[in-house]
């Protein structure tokens, strides 16, 4: 069965948007949370692909790309969490969401895939919507400190992951790619947890439940569907579409944990969606 990649992308956005709400429910170390998000997804996915004999052995040249993807994704999650610790969630989110710009530039340089006019117009509109959603105060209060640098680095790592994963997904199936790259991320984040002495056990049943949802919904379902979209669509469009995560997260936070949604946030969200829509516009035939 062939899925519509845009519907797959929508499912992925909703799945990963649950993550910040879950963090609010059961706070735990960001790096520990990142490790279990990966590890739990692997525990459920690996037996399935082995039993179904769907684990494809990659070409020798692909192993390096898979390894890099695992390190990039694991580093992105870890550094983004650290950037929140050193600054604040709003600044970290805004700077990380510059990733569509880096993906557009990187795609042109490394994939020879030059973004068209609609992409850049849509990017400018969507980022303007993000500024409105976040509020101008975010910029006036922005500090160029360690947290700032980490948030920018997180955006660069995320953009790099999108570009490298696109190259790998063009040459192997999604399930195999996700299995191998998540194994690499899990081992990498486990080592980081040990080095930084982050907590790895003695959690309450509630926290274990939340970690399981993060692994199964936010990681496994979310990134399988997003990876499918990356394989079928332009990496630039997918990265820009993920800006809508902030809108979905806001709605979920409003519904489940009674966070306030202002008129300014609604306007910003609408502008973001308009910008994303522009990138999917097709050129008129002459």
Q: Does residue 228 form part of some domain?
A: yes
Q: Does residue 286 form part of some domain?
A: no
Output the CA torsion sign for 6, 8, 11, 13: negative
In the chain, how many domains are there? 1
Instruction: Determine the Cα–Cα distance for residues 186 and 161; give it in Å rounded to an integer.
Output: 16
| Structure confidence at residue 255 (pLDDT) | 78
pLDDT exceeds 90 at position 113:
no
Q: Does residue 284 form part of some domain?
A: no
How confident is the model over 5-41, as pLDDT tens digits? 889 999 998 998 887 777 667 778 878 988 999 999 9
Q: Which of 55, 44, 43, 66 is nearest to 176 (CA)?
A: 55
pLDDT exceeds 50 at position 71:
yes
Distances (CA, A) of 79 to 54, 158, 177: 32, 11, 23
Evaluate whether 166 touches 112 at the Cβ level (below 8 Å). Answer: no
Which residue is listed with tokens 């709400």?
21
Give the residue ranges of DSSP H helices in 87-145.
89-96, 99-110, 117-134, 137-140
Q: Which structure tokens are listed for 242?
A: 């993920």
Q: Does residue 27 form part of some domain?
A: yes
Q: Does residue 285 form part of some domain?
A: no
pLDDT exceeds 50 at position 284:
no
Q: Does residue 266 form part of some domain?
A: yes
Instruction: Determine the Cα–Cα distance for residues 227 and 170; give it in Å rounded to an integer.
Output: 11
Most confident of 90-104, 131-145, 189-203, 239-253: 189-203
Q: Region 246-255: what's the mean pLDDT?
A: 76
How confident is the model over 263-281, as pLDDT tens digits? 887 888 888 788 877 876 6
pLDDT exceeds 60 at position 165:
yes
Q: Which of 35, 65, 38 is nearest to 200 (CA)?
A: 35
Please, which pLDDT band fits residue 224 given cuts at 50, 70 and 90?
Answer: very high
Q: Which domain holds residue 232?
A: 5-279
| Structure confidence at residue 139 (pLDDT) | 59
Q: Which residues contact 166 (CB under 8 A, 6 or more apart)?
A: 107, 111, 230, 231, 235
Q: Region 215-244: what's the mean pLDDT?
A: 85
Most confident of 143-147, 220-224, 281-285: 220-224
Give the pTM. Answer: 0.80
Q: Does residue 33 form part of some domain?
A: yes
Distance of CA 134 to the CA centre of its chain: 18
């Amino acid at each position: 069965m062939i899925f519509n990649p845009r519907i797959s992308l929508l499912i992925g956005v909703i799945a990963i948007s649950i993550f910040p709400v879950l963090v609010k429910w059961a706070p735990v170390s960001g790096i520990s949370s990142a490790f279990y998000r990966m590890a739990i997804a692997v525990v459920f996915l690996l037996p399935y692909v082995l039993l179904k004999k769907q684990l494809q052995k990659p070409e020798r040249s692909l192993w390096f790309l898979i390894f890099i993807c695992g390190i990039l994704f694991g580093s992105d999650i870890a550094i983004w969490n650290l950037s929140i610790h050193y600054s604040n969630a709003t600044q970290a989110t805004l700077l990380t969401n510059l990733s569509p710009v880096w993906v557009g530039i990187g795609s042109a340089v490394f994939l020879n895939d030059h973004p068209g006019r609609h992409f850049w117009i849509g990017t400018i509109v969507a980022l303007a919507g993000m500024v409105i959603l976040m509020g101008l105060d975010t910029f006036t209060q922005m500090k160029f400190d360690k947290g700032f640098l980490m948030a920018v680095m997180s955006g660069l790592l995320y953009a790099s992951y999108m570009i490298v994963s696109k190259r790998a997904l063009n040459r192997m199936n999604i399930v195999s790619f996700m299995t191998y790259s998540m194994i690499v991320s899990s081992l990498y984040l486990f080592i980081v947890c040990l080095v930084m002495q982050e907590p790895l056990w003695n959690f309450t049943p509630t926290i274990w439940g939340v970690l399981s949802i993060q692994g199964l919904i936010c990681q496994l379902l979310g990134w399988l569907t997003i990876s499918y979209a990356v394989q079928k669509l332009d990496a630039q469009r997918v990265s820009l579409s993920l800006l809508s995560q902030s809108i979905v997260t806001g709605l979920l936070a409003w519904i489940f944990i009674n966070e306030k949604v202002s008129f300014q946030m609604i306007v910003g969200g609408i502008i973001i969606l308009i910008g994303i829509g522009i990138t999917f516009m097709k050129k008129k035939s002459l």
